[in-house]
Amino acid sequence: MYEKLQDLTPEMQAETLTRYLVSLKSYTGTRNERIKAEAIYDIIASFPYFKEHPEEVWIQEIKHDPLGRKNVWARLKGKGTRSVLFHSHIDTVGTDDFGSLQEIAHDPDQLQAFFKNHKGDLRVQEEARSGDWLFGRGSLDMQSGAAVHLVNLLELSDSPEEPDGTMLFLFNPDEESEHAGMLAALEELHRMKQEGLEFVAAVNNDFIAPMYDGDTTKYIYTGAAGKVLPCFYIYGREAHVGDVLTSVDPTLIGAELNRRINQNTDLAEDLEGEYVLPPACLHFKDDKKDYNVQTAISAHLYFNYFVFEKTAEDVIEKLRGITEDAVKKLAVESSRKYHDFRKKHGFPPSEWDFSVEVCTFGELEDELIRQGIDVKSKLDKVVEHYKGRDKREAAFALAEALQQLDPEKKPRVLLFFAPPFLPHNYLSEKNQFGSEIIEKLEFRLKETSAATGEVFTTKRFFPYLADGSFLSLHESEEAVDVLQKNIPRMKELYPVPIDLIRELNIPSINIGVYGRDGHKWTERVYKPYTFGVLPKLIRDFALDLVSVRERVNK
């Protein structure tokens, strides 16, 4: 690959690499993620520096990964111990959204030709005709990001001047799903820290986009939103449809919880100047597999829930309050309907209990253990049975197994979390390098703005999901304890190395590629900024960070 790049400008290098990476399919959860990693390794190995120093580029196999996926690392050693981690993910979502264009989803030129005449979206048409945008699956999210890091790796490795500190590059899979690549990378980062590297910051370049029509601001983020996946296992009381009013219908409870939680902007954290999204329902179904005239016995639902300053403990207590209020009011309503129905038909009074208990997975587990019930062996069997299967399914199976161990089989809403869990992190002046990072970032953005005319705004939290979340941890021990108790069998199901993350404590800065429509068939990256401005901005900022010299005008 180096032969194709050596005579090109950095801008053309970035576009050439993006086109090549887009052409290689690497959908999340497929073996093509491994093939993409090997292709990136080959690109780096072709660079002159790494031909001379082949030990400085290596592949890390992800342990126990059924797809054999890999991380790719490259290192440029510097004069001092300070180090900056450049990282980007190499997986993409699939191409079902392209419909009849699926065959050309990885061909930027054919897509551009199509969109030039596309009347369904005039903005897309106009931008295709401008020639300033590169289309294709992964063009924005985020093969262009990997390409920008590769350009900087080549530029830095070709420089005759040794950097003041080490430049470390990571290209990892599985960002779009469960972050297996970054979780595995933590062990390598820890190893290098023990060998003497001092991580000042990590620079991710996950994509940014306009926030509204006419917005040309480039948003820089000094932290990342966290995420929990709050789950509700709702166990009711079944009935024949001929006696439906005696049931405790879990779908009715689930519908009410969905109404109260899904897209409820009042549940979004109120952080001035930050883009904070409300919870979103990702899954809702009952347990029935076949048609019959019995009401459902249980239902499942879970939500994507972003956290910024709040913790898992805050979330579960908020949702517990909503759930307790919902089931209480539904019980009153069910009792009223039942009595009104019997009165209407002249039936004698009859009492049914419509109350529903609300508790967490951890609370029910502790209660059953106190009763002398063998919880461990039952849950062990479930874990074994669900090995290699979807982790959300496994979590609900564990919740169901716990409910079945209850001798009373009470109608109940069981609250818990399922994978993935992403810690929130943010740049703090309490961090060893916090003030320095802020000052050097402000200086570099001011310099870039003066040179290019770009307008930058710095915000605290990257508002979507990103691998950088796993590089530092701000939750207290108590909040972590609540999380660990309420992700069923967390150590087996989703072993996030909490202590390792806390020890690494690497600030995460996102200086992203720029474009529109990530995860859509119209996905495209804006070339003038992403290929022309961004590489130098990131490179200069990283050089500032590893330098002990004063780079900021006081």
pLDDT band at 550 (very low <50, low <70, confident <90, very high): low
388: left (phi over 0), alpha (psi -120 to 50) or beta: left
pTM across the whole model: 0.88
CB 255 within 8 A of CB 269: no
User: What span, in angstroms and rounded, lies between the C-alpha atoms of 315 and 302?
Assistant: 13
DSSP string for residues in 339-388: HHHHHHTTPPP-------EEEEHHHHHHHHHHTT--HHHHHHHHHHHTTT
**DSSP category for residue 526:** E
User: What span, in angstroms and rounded, lies between the C-alpha atoms of 245 and 265?
Assistant: 33
Looking at residue 350, its pLDDT comes to: 85
CB 177 within 8 A of CB 391: no
CB 373 within 8 A of CB 395: no
Nearest to 148 by CA among 132, 171, 130: 171
User: What span, in angstroms and rounded, lies between the C-alpha atoms of 507 and 440?
Assistant: 14
Task: Average the pLDDT over each of 83-87, 209-213, 259-263 and give the range with the smallest value.
Answer: 209-213
User: What span, in angstroms and rounded, lies between the C-alpha atoms of 339 and 347?
Assistant: 9
Looking at this protein, which amino acid is placed at residue 341? Answer: F
552 pLDDT higher than 70: no
- From residue 366, alpha-carbon distances to 275, 359, 375, 479 in Å are 38, 11, 9, 18
Looking at residue 554, its pLDDT comes to: 42
Looking at residue 173, its pLDDT comes to: 97
Strand partners, 240: 294
User: What span, in angstroms and rounded, lies between the C-alpha atoms of 136 and 19?
Assistant: 9
Q: Could you tell me what percent of the chain has a pLDDT over 90?
A: 85
Q: Which residues contact 166 (CB under 8 A, 6 or more apart)?
A: 75, 76, 77, 78, 81, 82, 83, 84, 197, 546
Looking at residue 269, its pLDDT comes to: 94
- Residue-wise pLDDT tens digits, 165-177: 999 999 999 999 8
Average confidence (pLDDT) over 85-104: 96
